[in-house]
Chain A
Amino acid sequence: MSNFFLAAATLWQRELVRFWRQKSRVLGVVASPLVFWLLIGYGSNDLARFYSGALVLTVMFSAIFSTISIIEDRREGFLLSMLVSPAPRSSMVLGKILGAATLAWIQGLIFLAFAPLAGVSIRPLELVPVAAAIYLISFTLTGLGFVIAWRMESTSGFHAIMNLLLVPMWMVSGSLFPMSTAHGWVKALMWVNPLTYSIALLNHTLRLPNAAPGGMESLVVTAAFGLLLFLASVIMAEQKATHSAA
């Protein structure tokens, strides 16, 4: 059991060290949602409305960026030696997802520094639930990235999924328009979209408007989705390969 955590911890640490040595990554991940948010927020004179969506986008970009590296890393990189080590695959998945989620979380926290622009003031004690919510969302989105990346042969396929699945998923999550004003099938899509609950969870903890669905419901759905994705990642990683390296 101690070996399980040792392996997971070393992978988690590796993600952080790599991140620390490539600080320019932060800029890339935080800058585009920030510009996006400022343009659309100032343009519509409603920065508060788009704040949670932009923060989740930051987290999503970071999570995708980290998990996309699995594709290359497995063919030519450190993941190769993990695959032939006696460390359980589940510890490898846990370390990778916790590490990548931590990076996404840090970038989400950087974005949080711009909250006063949206008229949100956070007292020190309130920071705890907010930070916890951002970590949970980071974990969930990293799990989503892992499940997508694990079976992929090339990074170009990931970009297609990003544009066709992840970005549309983000658009109908309450990031741009609230569920209450959505029409027909889009509303139905929003209702089944797990990201909707992530955005609502943030709106709740930041006391921003458009916090529907409810707080507890948002928390439970986001956590359940995260757990589900984590388990799916473990199951996928434990499957034996009969084809190329995996």
Chain B
Amino acid sequence: MIQVQNLTHRYGDRSALSNVSFEVRKGEIFGLLGPNGGGKSTLFRILSTMMVPTAGRALIAGHDVVRDPAAVRRQVGVVFQTQSLDKALTVEENLRAQGHLHGLRGVVLGERMARAMERLGLADRRRDLVETLSGGLRRRVEIAKALLHEPQVLLMDEASTGLDPAARRDLSRHIESLRSGEGVTILLTTHILEEAGRCDRLVLLHQGNMVAEGTPAELRARIGGDVVVLRTADTALLASKIEQRFGVRPVVRDGQVRVEMENGHRFIAEVVEAFPGAIESVGLHKPTLEDVFVDQTGASIE
């Protein structure tokens, strides 16, 4: 449904995206995960036809985003990170204006509006001014607005930013029901691990490069085994000693020494035994997407 081929973008001298390629299948919830400045927003702007890439190409529902933006715009609903609602208008007025921009009118538009508001639980707020709504509700209006013309693809940029955990869960419930109910393909950008974990597949972006691709489970399995986190006064010293003695490759980050390995519990016993008194605390967890990102880039997401 979405094909990205060798997409490259530069802002002047600064490279924002280099040679990114991936494919999103119909009905998938696909995530672009990475820190701010990783290239997600650039990719989002190109896919939503707001910006022309320096090189490479992208197709949505078979239409080239550069050569045929009008066709792409008819197939795509866009939810922006910043607000795209008119705060001085009511929910209904915002939706009606959006419908008109897509050439919808009259009875058809009325039905579409009613359905979109129903689906996102906005029916009782239809006459409220947008400026009186909470962040979570506004986000839902944005989605209702993006769905009015019944697009095959929904692009969402950091859709859960600024929402509290309850509103965030509510949002992902709506996203899931869109996919299962209507078969809408969803591409979202995020730097929130929990949200990324709910995607069917992910691409990890770092400094404009694609560092990994796969399902959340596949990505976690890349690390395999466990992640052991050690806290100590002199992290560099401990890391080099561990490397010499155990032949593993520790990473120092945020004042901690991290080691990825099978059978972490056995390693913990050995390492505490080997350096008595040097280790202040020990932690063990199954790999998270954050660990995958650290493993691939040496940097963290959040």
In-complex Cβ contact of B51 among A9, A11, A17, A245 (8 A):
A245
Residue of B with least CB distance to A243? B11
The answer to whether B73 and A6 touch across the interface, beta carbons within 8 angstroms, is no
Contact indicator B86/A242 (Cβ below 8 Å): no
- Is the beta-carbon distance between A14 and B101 smaller than 8 angstroms? no
Closest to B77 in A: A84
With a cutoff of 8 Å between Cβ atoms, the chain A residues found around residue B102 in the complex are 85-87
A-B contact count (CB 8 A): 84
- Which residues from B are CB-within-8-Å of A3? 103
Which segment of A47-55, A72-80, A164-172, A186-194 sits at the interface?
A72-80
- Contact check, A80 vs B100: say whether CB atoms are below 8 A apart: no
| Chain B contact patch, size range | 20 to 34
In the complex, per-residue mask of A15-43: 1 if CB is within 8 Å of any chain B CB, else 0: 00110011000000000000000000000
Distance A14 CA – B73 CA, assembled complex (angstroms) = 22
Whether a CB of chain A sits under 8 angstroms from the CB of B88 is yes
Cα distance A75–B80 in the bound complex, in angstroms? 10
A240 close to B52 (CB less than 8 A)? yes
Q: Which residue of A lies closest to B96 (CB)?
A: A10
Q: How far is the CA of A221 from the CA of B251 in the complex (A)?
A: 72
User: Which of B42-50, B196-204, B205-213 interfaces with chain A?
Assistant: B42-50
Contacts A17-B93, A242-B54 given; does A80 touch B101 at CB 8 Å: no
The interface size of chain A toward B, counting residues with CB under 8 Å, comes to 32
Our pick among B78, B88, B93, B94 for the contact of A22 (Cβ within 8 Å) is: B88
- Find chain A residues with CB under 8 A from B45 CB: 245
CB-nearest residue of chain A to B146: A81
Please indicate the chain A residues that have their CB under 8 angstroms from the CB of B52 in the complex: 240-242
Report the bound CA distance from A9 to B105 in whole Å.
12
Q: Which residues of A have CB within 8 Å of B49?
A: 84
Whether A75 pairs with B82 at a CB distance below 8 angstroms is yes
Q: Chain B residues near A11: list those with CB within 8 A.
A: 97
A13 CA / B100 CA spacing, docked (Å): 11
User: B51: which A residues are within 8 A, CB to CB?
Assistant: 241-245
Interface: B278 (CB within 8 A): no
Q: Among B50, B54, B94, B100, which residue has its beta carbon within 8 angstroms of that of A84?
A: B50
Q: Which residues of A contact B (CB under 8 A)?
A: 2-3, 6-7, 9-11, 13-14, 17-18, 21-22, 75-78, 80-87, 240-246
B interface residues with partner A (beta carbon < 8 Å): 11, 45, 48-52, 54, 70, 73-74, 76, 78, 80, 82-86, 88-89, 93-94, 96-98, 100-103, 105, 145
